[in-house]
């Protein structure tokens, strides 16, 4: 069951609901063909507290849509893909709490996919990824796309805020070709980066606690300069309208200005948010 509404939203049938730490991950059926460009770092806005069109017109207890980030996408049948979607908030958020109570066969009303994600590799490359265990699923399609292009993947996983899982658990959820390193604290992260940045062709970061300016300094230390196109960063932002209208999502740029993460990100080139050279 997939219905497109004249307001641009989609109804998606829920296939599976699971917990991701204190958050939630939901797999839902969506029309085939939405997974271009690469879903990693892109998001949907989900209406919480209401499923049917009638409920959406009358149920306003959770009125702001919540962001669900794209993770895995697999083919379901000739017309539909199964998208696994992750909330970045935890169950203290009313929207996430409502999502955790959903069951297979129910409906999610979604807007998206939205935003600019991590660029798909256009050639074999050595890709370095930095994230935590909570956000690791957001990079799933990037990891697979890089390996499918004949590239190499090294992950540095920082101990997560809500899901401090072990190395073996992480490895079992990843392609066997991906190298995984754990970093329990900032010193370990910096040490891993010093070893790996010199040979990396690209860097993808989904780690809200790591300030872009600090990351740029570490890149300069290892590579002498920060080149445009080398590093992409998923920025933390309040994604509310997804259309550039409400300005809730602005993030600072290297030039001293602000930019809207919902339409110009949430993935940005490191040079844009921290400066080059
Ligand atoms: S979320 Fe409203 S302008 Fe970005």
pLDDT in tens, 85-132: 998 777 788 889 999 999 999 999 999 999 999 999 988 899 999 998
Assess whether pLDDT exceeds 70 at residue 20: no
More confident residue, 252 or 59: 252
The mean-pLDDT minimum among 28-42, 100-114, 156-170, 222-236 falls in: 156-170
Length of the chain in terms of residues written: 277
| 126-274 matches 2-114 in CATH topology | no
Give pLDDT tens digits for 82-93.
999 998 777 788
> Averaged over 239-244, what is the pLDDT?
95
Is 212:233 a contact under the CB 8 Å cutoff?
yes
In this structure, are strands 107-114 and 80-87 parallel, antiparallel, or unpaired?
A: unpaired
Query: pLDDT at position 18, please?
Result: 86
Domain ranges of the chain: 2-114, 126-274
Q: Is 64 in the pocket of ligand 1 (CB under 6 A)?
A: no
**CA 110 to ligand 1 center in whole angstroms:** 16
From the number of C-beta atoms within 10 Å of its C-beta (0-12, 13-18, 19+), residue 136 rates as buried
CATH 3.40.50.300 fits 2-114, yes or no: no
**CA 259 to ligand 1 center in whole angstroms:** 10
**CA 42 to ligand 1 center in whole angstroms:** 14
Q: What is the fold, at CATH topology level, of the domain defined by 126-274?
A: Rossmann fold (3.40.50)
Pocket probe mutation, ligand 1, options 67, 244, 266, max atoms within 8 Å of Cβ = 244
Is 18:137 a contact under the CB 8 Å cutoff?
no
- Model pTM score: 0.91
**244 CA closest ligand 1 atom index:** 3
Assess whether pLDDT exceeds 80 at residue 186: yes
Is 74:120 a contact under the CB 8 Å cutoff?
no
**CA 260 to ligand 1 center in whole angstroms:** 6
List strand residue ranges (DSSP E) for the chain, in order: 2-4, 10-20, 23-31, 43-47, 66-75, 80-87, 107-114, 126-132, 152-158, 179-183, 202-206, 231-234, 250-252, 258-260, 267-269
More confident residue, 91 or 146: 146
């Amino acid at each position: 069951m997939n219905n497109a509404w004249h307001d641009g939203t989609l109804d998606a049938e829920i296939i599976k609901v699971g917990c991701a730490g204190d958050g939630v991950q939901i797999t839902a059926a969506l029309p085939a063909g939405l997974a271009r460009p690469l879903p990693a770092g892109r998001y949907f806005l989900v209406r919480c507290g209401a499923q049917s069109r009638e409920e959406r017109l009358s149920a306003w207890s959770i009125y702001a849509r919540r962001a669900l980030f794209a993770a895995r996408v697999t083919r379901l049948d000739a017309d539909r893909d199964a998208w696994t979607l992750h909330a970045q908030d935890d169950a203290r958020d009313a929207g996430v709490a409502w999502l955790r109570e959903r069951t297979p066969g129910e409906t999610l009303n979604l807007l998206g996919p939205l935003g600019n994600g991590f660029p798909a590799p256009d050639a074999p490359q050595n890709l370095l990824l930095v994230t935590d265990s909570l956000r690791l699923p957001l990079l799933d399609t990037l990891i697979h796309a890089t390996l499918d292009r004949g590239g190499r993947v090294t992950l540095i996983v920082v101990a997560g805020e809500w899901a401090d899982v072990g190395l073996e658990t992480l490895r079992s959820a990843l392609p066997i070709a991906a190298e995984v390193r754990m970093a329990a604290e900032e010193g370990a992260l910096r040490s891993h980066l010093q070893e790996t940045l010199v040979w990396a062709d690209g860097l993808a970061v989904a780690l809200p606690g790591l300030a872009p300016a600090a990351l740029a300094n570490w890149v300069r230390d290892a590579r002498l300069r920060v080149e445009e196109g080398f590093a992409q960063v998923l920025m933390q932002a309040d994604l509310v309208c997804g259309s550039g209208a409400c300005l809730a999502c602005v993030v600072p740029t290297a030039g001293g200005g602000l930019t809207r993460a919902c339409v110009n990100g949430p993935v940005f080139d490191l040079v844009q948010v921290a400066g080059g050279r």
